[in-house]
Amino acid sequence: MTEKYQQDLADLLSGQVSEVVVQASDFNEFVKVWEQLPQRKEIVGNAQRNGTVIYHLSESV
């Protein structure tokens, strides 16, 4: 799963995708990858009611 999130975040930063959806059950694994990114402050998440978090690039980027 770690490699998947590394690729998902790389795609987000390169503009290939506009968002990354993380299920509540995968959140801890995702955060481990996200914390290692130098650009992590450029990636923001919006929590949904079901525990899913949708990450996207900050508007100021």
d(CA 39, CA 61): 10
pLDDT at 43: 96
In the structure, what pLDDT confidence band is assigned to residue 61 with cuts at 50, 70 and 90?
low
pLDDT tens per residue across span 32-55: 999 999 999 999 999 999 999 999
Buried b (16+ CB within 10 A) or exposed e, 22-42: beeeebeebeebbeeeeeeee
